[in-house]
Amino acid sequence: MSTNENKDQFRQPDHEHDHFLLTTVVGSYPKPKWLNRAKDLYEDEDSDFDEDNWQEAKDDAARLITDEHERAGLDVVVDGEMRRNEMVEFFAHRIEGYEFNGPVKVWGHNYFDKPSVVSEVEYDESWLVDEYEFTADASDRPVKVPITGPYTLANWSFNEAYEDDDELTLELADLVNEEIEKLVDAGARYIQIDEPALATTPDDHAIVGEALEHIVADIPDDVRIGLHVCYGDYSRIYPEILEFPVDEFDLELANGDYDQLDVFKDPAFSKDLALGVCDAHVAEVESVERIEENIKKGLEVVPPEQLVISPDCGVKLLPRDVAYGKMANMVQAARNVEADLDAGEIDIERGAPTPADD
Amino acid sequence: MTEYVSTTPGLYPLPDWAKDDLSDLKGHQKHDLVSGDEGEEITAAYEEAREEVIGVQQDAGLDRIVEGQLRWDDMLAHPLAVADAVETRGIVRYYDNNNFYREPVVTDDLEPTGDIASELEATVERVGSDDLQAVLPGPYSLYDLATDEYYGDDGDFLAAIAAFLEAEVDAFPAHETLFLLEPSLVENPPADGEDARASEAIDRVANATDADVVVQPYWGALEEKVYAHLLDADIDAVGFDFVANQDDNLYNIQEYGTTDDVALGLADGQNTLVEDPEAIRDRTEWVEGQLGVTEFETVYLTTNTETFYLPYGKYVAKLEVLAEAADLAEVKAA
């Protein structure tokens, strides 16, 4: 069995199998109901629930969800993004150059506060170092830090200040790089760049690749960098994305029942594959057996040492008990497949296309 | 002398209070979207919001007033989404935007609904026919946004959509202008043969009204052949998205000529940066100067796209700029 040093640094000392299928989450997790109530109180001018109380509530929630991830058995945990409201807004509030003008429609009556870039973007206060340090302190497990990528930050904003979105993307990439340097100084070893906008405007993979070069500049090689992409036509970005300077691609595939799996078989997948094995938008816990089958789909693309196990996407829209059920079953399924691999009971041909009548 | 008319392609953002109220009244899921038979409370909220956006246009001083299309949850697919012969299915992406609509699947013979006519009836009470502008998806774009499970043939389906829109227009109260929005002519251009059929379909809808008809494609310029075919339709004005593409639009006009009236999309309907009225006026002059032809009879000054992409305050500001730019252009021309 070959090894994968970058991935194996996250293996627990007491890991029970020779094989190691790293289990983790994409990032977001359902917020406890009381956290939403605390937020309402904090925003209510008539309430005496102050900044300190609100900070304490977020700390409690972060500790709670980190612990919940540990209990589910995940190898690498996140705080469930308890301190973040939305994946663009959170960062836009912390970057100089952004302003907010009110909600805009996404679909139906779903809105978001799409920010405007009105002047040169600049790095001000740290975005995530406090969040990382708190989570790392609250857990014995390794911690992953998800960061919204510069392409999505640029695309899901109004650009008033830059000649074009590509220029804005690269400027933001330099800020992301600065933040990652600070996170690495604070001890972070696993960073995930979230670029959901890539799959929706896939002709832009070149600018995303260029932005990633900016992001990883001077970041030590042994720091694990992942890229999360979801809900799009992957054939329009593969194999080009293999050139990106990242260690891992985290892909949503369970939602489409692996109908896009063949895309990644030719040419061979040369990075680590963090395979989505649970649907993030179906409020039903997949069985351990079902997830085992999904994990084996990943083995059609990469060998076990390149495989990482995670849900399709952030699970924040699920009921919390369902989210927990999915995580726990996912870990159990990964451990079962590891045992079968150790026993030599899994024989999957890699790279063979799925028969058309499958 | 050229008349400068400030207007918009409609499909406005809801006022923020209406976003909140209607979220609470309707909900956030697929099956909560407008079906054409909304209850009393929802209807009342939309009526109040409509009054507000009519007032915004009047206060800004726009020359044409639209209903606002605030009920169009499915954007340009709305006319089908409320039709009996249509099932609304999954959420699908709206062109290249971070916006989604319910896929309208036509499963039976399309019959007009009168849904949009009743919106316009409510508007004309406040506005008067001389200022009223109706807005519809162009037949090609509606055809492109929809899925056919009934007609079985692309040509038949496009013709059925055109007949459907024609019948909707038949029921409209008198109006001064009709905007047919045709982004699909740019985004998913018709192939050979289909381009002529698209033009015929537009012609059919345009002939259903006595009003001036403006066909507004956006998100770029039309391919040459598509543009040439569009000019065959009996329409009063073609719209040009000069925000997205200047060179190819100019080329089309210089190479193939254009209608006696034109619509110039000069304010960006998808960016919060609010243009200066003087800059819009200057760009209007620049376009006219580039063409060096005899002057247009009417120039509509408009945003290039719908404005629901914008926060409400910025949408209001864009309307004010368009009205002021048209006034400035009139002064200059006089």
Tens-place pLDDT, residues B252-307: 999 999 999 999 999 999 999 999 999 999 999 999 888 876 789 999 999 999 99
Beta-bridge partner residues of B298: B3
User: What single-letter amino acid sits at B61?
Assistant: G
Would you list the DSSP string of A242-287?
GGSS-SEEEE--TTTTTTTGGGGTSS---SEEEEE-S-TT--SPPP
Q: What token pair was written down for A230? A: 């979801």
Tens-place pLDDT, residues B172-211: 999 999 999 999 999 999 999 999 999 999 999 999 999 9
Tens-place pLDDT, residues B300-310: 999 999 999 99
Specify the 3-state DSSP secondary structure of A221. Answer: coil
ipTM of this complex: 0.94
With CB atoms and an 8 Å threshold, state whether B93 touches A200: yes
Beta pairing, strands B298-303 & B212-216: unpaired
Task: Go through the domains of chain B in sequence order and give each one's CATH number.
Answer: 3-333 (3.20.20.210)
Q: What token pair was written down for A33? A: 């109901």
Q: Does A105 touch chain B (CB under 8 A)?
A: yes
With CB atoms and an 8 Å threshold, state whether B98 touches A108: no
Residues of B in CB contact (< 8 Å) with A are: 13-14, 16, 19, 22-23, 26-30, 32-33, 73, 91, 93-94, 96, 98-101, 270-273, 308-314
Domain ranges of chain A: 11-30+74-83+121-342
User: Is B244 within 8 Å of B304 (Cβ atoms)?
Assistant: yes
Q: Does A109 touch chain B (CB under 8 A)?
A: yes
Nearest Cα of chain B lies from the Cα of A108 at a distance, in angstroms, of: 5
In CATH, which of 3.20.20.210, 3.40.50.740, 3.40.50.970, 3.50.7.10 is domain A11-30+74-83+121-342?
Answer: 3.20.20.210
Q: Report the distance separating Cα A201 and Cα A237, nearest Å.
A: 10
Beta pairing, strands A110-112 & A158-159: unpaired
Closest-CA residue of chain A to B29: A108
Q: Per-residue pLDDT averaged across B14-25, rounded?
A: 96
Would you list the DSSP string of A178-238?
HHHHHHHHTT--EEEEE-HHHHHSGGGHHHHHHHHHHHHTT--TTSEEEEEE-SS-GGGTT
Q: Report the distance separating Cα A226 and Cα B155, nearest Å.
A: 47
With CB atoms and an 8 Å threshold, state whether A101 touches B313: yes
> What's residue B260's pLDDT?
93
Tens-place pLDDT, residues B112-137: 999 999 999 999 999 999 999 999 99
Per-residue pLDDT band for B32 (boundaries 50, 70, 90) equals confident
User: Is A291 within 8 Å of A330 (Cβ atoms)?
Assistant: yes
Beta pairing, strands B3-6 & B298-303: parallel
Q: Is the predicted pLDDT of residue B4 greater than 60, yes or no?
A: yes
pLDDT lower than 50: segments of chain A: 358
With CB atoms and an 8 Å threshold, state whether B26 touches A109: yes
pTM as predicted? 0.90
